[in-house]
């Protein structure tokens, strides 16, 4: 069974208003549903997406998540200690900054072994690496 991580940007593409990549990510989610992929995200990605998607579409996003459109992978408070070195490594001021949502997905990839990701953030996820050097496969 296939698995993929879902970044906030993919959720924004599907549920946002007039998003150029909407059709692409809607098709990916339909394929994932048809083939019964395991889709996972984290709470920081949910918060980011729900902030960026305006009402009333925000309510559709939250309803979809509530119906388990993706599994929201939990982490405990101590996991933040794993996020800090990642965020420090990939923050190059003033040009780029790894945010909490991205750090949580890199952490989730390490925890689960899933490196396929639905994201519009190609520039950043192309440079992120897991501790063993693996790259993300961007959908």
Q: What is the mean pLDDT of residues 100-120?
A: 97
Which residues touch 105 (CB under 8 Å, ≥6 apart)?
5, 7, 41, 42, 45, 117
Strands (E), the chain: 3-6, 38-42, 71-73, 116-118, 137-138
Q: What is the mean pLDDT of residues 43-49?
A: 98
pLDDT above 90: residue 92? no
> pLDDT-derived band of residue 94, with 50, 70 and 90 as boundaries?
low
Look up the pTM and report it.
0.93
List, in order of start, the domains of the chain with CATH numbers.
3-131 (3.40.50.1010)
Report pLDDT for 21. Answer: 96
8 A C-beta contact, residue 7 and residue 121: yes
Taking only the tens place, the pLDDT of each residue in 10-27 is 999 999 999 999 999 999
């Amino acid at each position: 069974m296939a698995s993929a991580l879902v970044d906030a940007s993919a959720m924004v593409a599907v549920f946002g208003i007039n998003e150029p990549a909407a059709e692409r990510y809607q098709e990916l989610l339909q394929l994932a549903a048809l083939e019964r992929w395991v889709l996972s995200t984290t709470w920081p990605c949910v918060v980011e997406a729900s902030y960026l998607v305006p009402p009333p579409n925000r309510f559709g996003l939250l309803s979809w998540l509530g119906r388990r459109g993706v599994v929201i992978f939990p982490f405990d408070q101590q996991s933040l200690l794993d996020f800090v070195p990642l965020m420090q490594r990939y923050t190059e001021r003033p040009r780029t900054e790894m945010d909490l949502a991205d750090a949580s997905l890199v952490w989730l990839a390490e925890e689960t072994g899933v490196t396929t990701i639905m994201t519009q953030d190609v520039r950043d996820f192309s440079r992120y690496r897991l501790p063993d050097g693996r790259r993300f496969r961007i959908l």
